A and B are shown apart, each in its own frame.
Chain A
């Protein structure tokens, strides 16, 4: 239902830009080690503002990117790095290109955030071009929606050759005899699902999963104590009153199912 269907005839790609060998060589040197302060010009090509504010946060006291000589400048003519955010809306295509052309060579283009990298959640919409690299060549991609200030600092440090890239393309191919273990096979499937569902309604997908797992583990624990005693012990160990309340709810689910089975 949610899957996109890519049809080339629907999408006209804007013209890309090319770069001379000489400029490419200069740029390579810049990317390897810049050895001085860098000036950054931000180009918002139609983001939601989240990225802009996180960049802001990255240059204010707590994260303070200016420690590394990274300074935001008001004109692309001063810039070493152009920081593109946003999915490149139609209206921002020309301003985005003008900013690129105004910056002196060699320049580094950083694509910031999910929208800048690929278009993000907006990737296939009629009024966007789907990412920075659709209009200008990109040197570094910083994922995130938006990237946190720490991710921003990491991205810059990587662009400037200070830190190494961690993420690598990987491709797992299914091996012989790969088989996924069942979760708590000793507990009836319907009961496990009922417990997990109730836990999610009570505490959400994240805490709910942890709480349900603790509950199911106690349920599946080997004898000698009775089920009731094991669950009572689990509840007694818990100091958070909210979690105690949720355990109570899960025990009610268990009782209801046992009664249903019996009748």
Chain B
């Protein structure tokens, strides 16, 4: 096929870029009919990304750095935009950073959504984003030596563990407040669910003025592992373990990226099974979040009820995959287990029961008298802020944007189209919760449709060979939003580079805006409403700048305050 086949969705964006930046577009390469990589001159990079983002309704999906010095003497930067306009496709802006001058013009001043990505590429590759105001580390721990960039091919072995440079945790937190504020640190350890992360809330009395957070306490180095110890198939099992709750979505996104790069056609039945499992994962994930929503408004009976019902979905997952976490089901080219008649019937029966139970529980939750007051107009995500930062999933859909990867960029078993998109316009915690409620029912319907009409034929294809240095994107709609992976194949039966971006990565940066203007007691609820890969933090240190005092409050106390809203721990 030549570059101008009308089949290629997104050609008009390429033409628009060429018109806008006449001499800056160097090359265009199409990975699939809906995926193009456009190489631009380094100095034109920010403008090219801005044009697609703001002029052509692009959304920032991910950015991948890549050490291509061994191939062409440069570092590659790949800015991935998910186009939301008439032509739904992925546009990748690629620029090359010369080896002898490892810096590039930062995109963040023009497109704020790029901020975490550019900080990360500085940590991992030592590429300096010129013009990026935030000079702090993002991913690497405080005790990591300066000048050692893990993802450079020649920097170190993947097993190299340098001695800790410090025992202190010296990450500087940022506070944009004009007036004096109190500091409330939360974390990194906490009791409710999930992973470590550290929050600082800057408060004036009870009101949150600003917030900052330090994530990546769990940075393990998976991307380096994928290109060193592991073969192609092994990475699907690694991708499962990106996240303990939406791991299967990652595994599918990874497998998809390799399949797209090589043009592998996964058998229809394999695709359908992938979708069935993705929806099962969405069910248990959303039910978990609804349970937590009950918990944080002080409705613990509801929490227990949601968890009781959620176990039915876990049973489904275990029956369909052999594991409660839908782990280890993918290979490149398909899936590892079929769904036979017995499993199909049990699934349909269980879904019937589940639908009734969830309907009753949701009814109980929404009719509880104090719910409305706790969740309405709390944690507002302004649509304008959302547009600037590209959040994903229910967080975005709760602010009125019709964006869902399953409908915008169909993959796996969603290719037949008609996946419903649930939107709420309240922009608050309630809207995000309602989006999840609707999605639970939609997921059940999707699973039933796919089970009643599963295509025949194989579930796996092994009829392909690997071609070095092919690359492409793979994507899924995880319960928390779009997961997107960028993979480049190597010449040694391993990946050359794997860039994995989890949905919550795009949601964290907007949280700061959602917290501002709310009270301290709502903070855990707001954090839980983005359904982060963890919902809270352990320890709250309160620094009241006006009083010049520092006070550490146990997380449980914060959480209790969130639920009961009496006896403020700050007094």
Contacts and interface: CB of A to CB of B under 8 A. Distances in A.
A242 B158 contact: no
Contacts of B337: 203-207
Given A54-B324, A57-B311, A74-B555, A92 B217 contact: yes
A56 interface: yes
B338 A90 contact: no
Given A7-B159, A60-B307, A125 B230 contact: no
A89 B158 contact: no
Interface stretch (B2-10, B94-102, B415-423, B459-467): B459-467
Interface in B222-249: 222, 224-225, 229-231, 234, 237-238, 241-245, 247
Contact of B196 (A95, A145, A241): A95
Given A52-B193, A87-B220, A2 B341 contact: no
A46 B307 contact: no
A128 interface: yes
A76 B305 CA distance: 28
B156 interface: yes
Interface string B40-59: 00000000000000000000
Instruction: Select the residue from A54, A120, A202 with max chain B CB neighbours within 10 A.
Output: A202
Interface in B425-464: 456-462
A62 interface: yes
B195 interface: yes
A88 to B, nearest CB: 10
Given A42-B191, A99-B189, A201-B461, A124 B158 contact: yes
B220 A125 contact: yes
Nearest to A63: B311
Nearest to B456: A245
A4 B234 CA distance: 14
Determine chain A's interface SS by DSSP, over half rule: mixed
Given A126-B160, A245-B456, A50 B217 contact: no
Interface in A23-59: 41-54, 56-57
B164 A204 contact: no
Determine chain B's interface SS by DSSP, over half rule: loop
Instruction: Select the residue from A53, A56, A86 with max chain B CB neighbours within 10 A.
Output: A53
B109 to A, nearest CB: 29
Instruction: Select the residue from B141, B160, B189, B460 with max chain A CB neighbours within 10 A.
Output: B189
Interface string A116-144: 00001110111111000000000000000
A158 interface: no
A48 B241 contact: yes
Given A52-B194, A202-B338, 17 more contacts: A1-B494, A48-B247, A60-B307, A73-B191, A74-B554, A75-B556, A87-B220, A92-B196, A92-B217, A95-B196, A121-B241, A122-B225, A125-B221, A127-B219, A146-B325, A204-B337, A242-B340
20 contacts: A12-B163, A44-B195, A46-B195, A49-B243, A52-B195, A52-B534, A54-B324, A72-B191, A74-B191, A90-B141, A93-B164, A95-B188, A99-B189, A125-B225, A126-B160, A203-B338, A204-B459, A206-B337, A243-B341, A245-B456
Interface of B: 140-144, 150, 156-164, 167, 169, 188-189, 191, 193-196, 216-222, 224-225, 229-231, 234, 237-238, 241-245, 247, 288, 304-305, 307-308, 310-311, 314, 322, 324-325, 327, 334-342, 456-462, 493-494, 533-534, 538, 554-556, 559
